[in-house]
Amino acid sequence: MVHELVSDAQRADYERHGAVCLRAVFDDAWIAKLRAGFEHNLSHPSDRASLFFGDAMGFVGLRDSETRGAYTGRDDLATAPRFMNDVDNWRAVPAYEEFLFHSPVAELAARVMGSAKANLLLQDVMMKAAGADQPTPWHQDAPSQPFQGDQSCAVWIPLDPVAREHNIEYVAGSHRWAEAYLQLDVADPEAHYGPGVAAFRQTPDINAHRDDHEILGWDVEPGDCIVHHGYVLHGAPGNAAVQRRRTFIARWTGDDIRYHGSKQRQLRPEYPDCRLKDGAPMDSDTFPVIWRA
């Protein structure tokens, strides 16, 4: 059977590799909306944002109001930072909320995961300026997220064309290695956290052994997306392109996922407004069900 959004062959690719690229699934109007939201977000970053300016390494975290005041409402933020990452902005940026609740993204995530529902786990955005040379180190997503279970994914949506050589890439099949690796610290790309957590192993040096693995990556255009599994190892080179690389990333959980705040506490504070108990299904205001079969 070929479903409107995701074919059986694409789903099988995702199961086998841990990542699949879907072509032309979001129309121009959705991409225009996300881009408008993104530009607003860049000039009004939240207190969870990390910004990186100039050539020297060093991120500006916007957690305190004085720093945030200095970076809010500045038009030059659309182009000035070399790197920007912000998290969970959808309640403040209507274009993001509209996209998450009314575009095909939630159904698409559920179909790829083979789930009868999609809970929104979180949303984030990332911008790498033209020539920004920080790589995204190899990492997995799920070990630092507050749940247990298999059905979790990220829908990684480019808002600019990205050539394969500048793009995110994946170690095919690594989502089935049954390992949880040390977690990436986005605010400090040289650092990982979680070394005190016994369950976490040192992340393998994929770059030194690329030939031992099948590495997947794609040229992508706005309208395409890549869906990747929460446990697949992934990373990205710096952006040596002449164009900045903006991405909107929506992260989802499916049927078999249960909340696990005590796992989250090993790494960072739990979601402050979350009232779920360990072992509960994710369905809640914090992790809303956006699509159900």
Ligand X SMILES: O=C(O)CCC(=O)C(=O)O
- Name the residues that contact ligand X, by CB under 6 A: 126, 136, 141, 154, 156, 168, 234, 236, 247, 249
Q: How far is the CB of 48 from ligand X (least distance, A)?
A: 15
| Residue whose CB is less far from ligand X, 175 or 234 | 234
Identify the residue whose tokens are 């990492």. 139
| Residue whose CB is less far from ligand X, 51 or 168 | 168
Q: CB-based burial of residue 223 (10 Å sphere; 0-12 exposed, 13-18 middle, 19+ buried)?
A: middle
Q: How far is the CB of 154 from ligand X (least distance, A)?
A: 5
How far is Cα 170 from Cα 17, in angstroms, rounded to an integer? 8
| Residue whose CB is less far from ligand X, 103 or 247 | 247
Q: How far is the CB of 85 from ligand X (least distance, A)?
A: 9
Q: How far is the CB of 25 from ligand X (least distance, A)?
A: 17
| Residue whose CB is less far from ligand X, 103 or 145 | 145
How far is Cα 291 from Cα 293, in angstroms, rounded to an integer? 7
| Residue whose CB is less far from ligand X, 156 or 281 | 156
For 129-205, strand residue ranges (E) read: 136-139, 147-148, 152-158, 169-171, 180-181, 183-184, 192-193, 200-201
| Residue whose CB is less far from ligand X, 225 or 282 | 225
Q: How far is the CB of 245 from ligand X (least distance, A)?
A: 7
Q: How many residues does the chain have?
A: 293
Helix (H, G, I), strand (E, B) or coil at 15: helix
How far is Cα 217 from Cα 97, in angstroms, rounded to an integer? 28
Burial of 266-278, coded b for 16+ CB within 10 Å and e otherwise, reads ebeebbeebebee
Q: How far is the CB of 229 from ligand X (least distance, A)?
A: 11
Sign, CA torsion 252/253/259/262: negative
Residue at 233: amino acid letter: L
Q: How far is the CB of 8 from ligand X (least distance, A)?
A: 25
| Residue whose CB is less far from ligand X, 185 or 278 | 185
**What is the token pair recorded at 32?**
């225009």
